[in-house]
Amino acid sequence: MPDLKNEIKKEVSRRKTFAIISHPDAGKTTLTEKLLLYGGAIRLAGSVKARKANKYAVSDWMEIEKQRGISVTSSVMQFEYNDYCINILDTPGHQDFSEDTYRTLVAADSAVMLIDGAKGVEAQTIKLFHVCKMRGIPIFTFVNKMDRASKDPFELMEEIEQVLGIRSYPMNWPIGTEGDFKGIYNRKHSQIELFDGGAHGQTQVSSTVGKVDDTIFADLLGSHYHDKLCEDIELLDMAGDEFDKEKIRSGELTPMFFGSAMTNFGVQPFLESFLELAPSPGIKTTSNGEIDPESDKFSGFIFKIQANMNPTHRDRLAFIRICSGKFTKGMTVKHVNAGKDVRLSQPQQFMAQERTIVEEAYPGDIIGLFDPGIFNLGDTLYEGNGNVRFEGIPIFPAEFFARVSPADTMKRKQFIKGIDQLSEEGAIQVFKQIDIGIEALIIGVVGALQFEVLEYRLKNEYGVSLRVQNLPFRHARWIENEGLDPRKLNLPSTSIIVEDKEGRNSILFENEWSIRMAEERNKDLKLIDIATQD
């Protein structure tokens, strides 16, 4: 047993599991590829790009993915670097698929926030950032595309603070930000890394006196750039935040790096600092106290369910984030929510497009299990005794709604089956209108494109054509007050009362203004925008 404990301890300490959050086009695919290259996964890296660029079979299961050149599902990429074992949770980049992206963040121990230097903090980054903030995970910022003209770096720091409410600590500082990029100054090592126009090699020049005003740098950069750099660094040292590991760990301070993923500039130093500072899998809270990742009892939770990934054999996969102990192929564990033992055979690990059978896995790793229809989002698997359950997975509020029914009423049974499946995957939220007796269900999605996915999948997997009537609502709010009869509320005439799949009352609103009006008219009403999956 001590051997197993030591083995788990060692594997936990070398694991880093993270997701990249960004707005489409900021360079996530490019950065992911470059990171994988450092792990020696060259072929894999190529496939990330190909998947997006749609150069060959992008996905074998959904035509929509191919047609649009976007990835609908997320997978995990694992690679080794300097004795670390790194799991990148790949998240769908297109803004229409953010429900899945949100949920994937629940399985990450930290996040890399990728920002386009010229555009600053963009809409989707803000949404995803808030999920990370809510979970209190550390966030590392990489400001990309510095080879081009960018915003002033002080302005970017200010923007991050104003828009996201987090302070930043620049680990390095760009030299030349008006399309005349010269390189970066590494604050920790008093070192300049020269940009050579993207020839991949990097020239590093260190200060001989350990200070930014070393004449070696003046000679290297010329006085124009060197004077500006000295001024900037002096200002940062004087007025900026201090480097504080604790604050980084608690998500109060984000270490900030400047670079260019495309030219592979600043990626390796970023990766190395990230690995040093990012947390390994930590203690997790359950209904029955805390679980230490180093415990010898396996535990994990299901954060993603995906059906019909391969049309030739209808499979359904449940993705598990391992939280403690050691996973071994074929082991029997307790499916806590169902109160049953299950044997974990044929576990799959995902390396971009490739599936391999996993023999063993450790905390921080993600495995996919064939699911005969017994798993639900948020379920706990546990090797020990006791009613241990991980915290539920939040449901993110849908922003688009439509009344959906089968075009052919004879197909109602298959329709319900398909809707149930997609709802179990978390791809859609199902509501029933309760203030009038209407048959059609209301479906809510986080991105409008998901209606297309819904139509496509129901047609292809269940043989059901849909009738979709778009509704003007943009917000769902759950009613927190217990025992309150929603029909008695004084609501704006443009809102409707619905019930979610668990029978919880919520209200659909057209805009923020009507939410405020509902709250003002009904002083005791408590509305929340995120409900938790039980």
Least distance (Å) between residue 34 CB and ligand G4P: 9
In the bound state with ligand G4P, the residue whose beta carbon lies nearer, of 145 and 411, is 145
What would the two tokens of residue 132 be?
């990370």
The gap between the terminal CA atoms of the chain, to the nearest Å, is: 35
Segment contacting ligand G4P by CB under 6 A, of 18-26, 75-83, 318-326, 493-501 = 18-26
Least distance (Å) between residue 45 CB and ligand G4P: 12
Residues 161-220 within binding reach of ligand G4P (CB under 6 A): none
Amino acid in position 278 = A
Please give the sequence-ordered ranges of beta strands (E in DSSP) within 82-165, or none if there are none.
84-89, 110-116, 139-144
Q: Is 26 in the site for ligand G4P (CB under 6 A)?
A: yes
> What are the residue ranges of helices labelled H in 240-342?
245-249, 267-277
In the bound state with ligand G4P, the residue whose beta carbon lies nearer, of 229 and 261, is 261
Segment contacting ligand G4P by CB under 6 A, of 19-27, 392-400, 402-410, 506-514 = 19-27
Binding mask 30-59 for ligand G4P (x = CB under 6 A): x---------------------xx------
The full DSSP string for 433-486 is E-SS---SEEEEESSTHHHHHHHHHHHHHH---EEEEEE---EEEEE-STT--G
Q: Is 90 in the site for ligand G4P (CB under 6 A)?
A: no
Rounded to whole angstroms, what are the CA distances from 361 to 80, 251, 290, 321, 372? 14, 27, 21, 10, 22
Q: Is 128 in the site for ligand G4P (CB under 6 A)?
A: no
Amino acid in position 24 = P
Least distance (Å) between residue 185 CB and ligand G4P: 18
Least distance (Å) between residue 25 CB and ligand G4P: 4
Reference 498, options 512, 478, 481, 516; nearest CA is 478
Least distance (Å) between residue 513 CB and ligand G4P: 33
What would the two tokens of residue 431 be?
């509501």
Residue among 147, 232, 424, 461 that touches ligand G4P (CB under 6 A): 147
Q: Is 74 in the site for ligand G4P (CB under 6 A)?
A: no
Least distance (Å) between residue 48 CB and ligand G4P: 9
In the bound state with ligand G4P, the residue whose beta carbon lies nearer, of 258 and 401, is 258
List of residues 6+ apart from 403 with CB closer than 8 A: 438, 440, 441, 442, 443, 468, 469, 471
What would the two tokens of residue 290 be?
């805390």
Query: Which DSSP letter does residue 427 get?
Result: S
Q: Is 93 in the site for ligand G4P (CB under 6 A)?
A: yes
Q: Is 27 in the site for ligand G4P (CB under 6 A)?
A: yes
The backbone torsions φ and ψ at residue 432, rounded to the nearest 5 degrees and listed phi first, read: -120, 135
If DSSP codes are grouped into helix, strand and coil, which group holds residue 531? strand
What does the H/E/C string look like for 130-152? HHHHHHCCCEEEEEECCCCECCC
| Distance (Å, whole) CA 450 – CA 439 | 22
Binding mask 257-276 for ligand G4P (x = CB under 6 A): ---xxxx-------------
Q: Is 28 in the site for ligand G4P (CB under 6 A)?
A: yes
Least distance (Å) between residue 31 CB and ligand G4P: 7
Q: Is 98 in the site for ligand G4P (CB under 6 A)?
A: no
In the bound state with ligand G4P, the residue whose beta carbon lies nearer, of 265 and 401, is 265
In the bound state with ligand G4P, the residue whose beta carbon lies nearer, of 129 and 462, is 129
What would the two tokens of residue 165 be?
């409410």
In the bound state with ligand G4P, the residue whose beta carbon lies nearer, of 88 and 305, is 88
What would the two tokens of residue 49 be?
């790009």
Q: Is 21 in the site for ligand G4P (CB under 6 A)?
A: no
Q: How many residues bind ligand G4P (CB under 6 A)?
A: 19
Binding residues for ligand G4P (CB under 6 A): 22, 24-30, 52-53, 93, 144-145, 147-148, 260-263
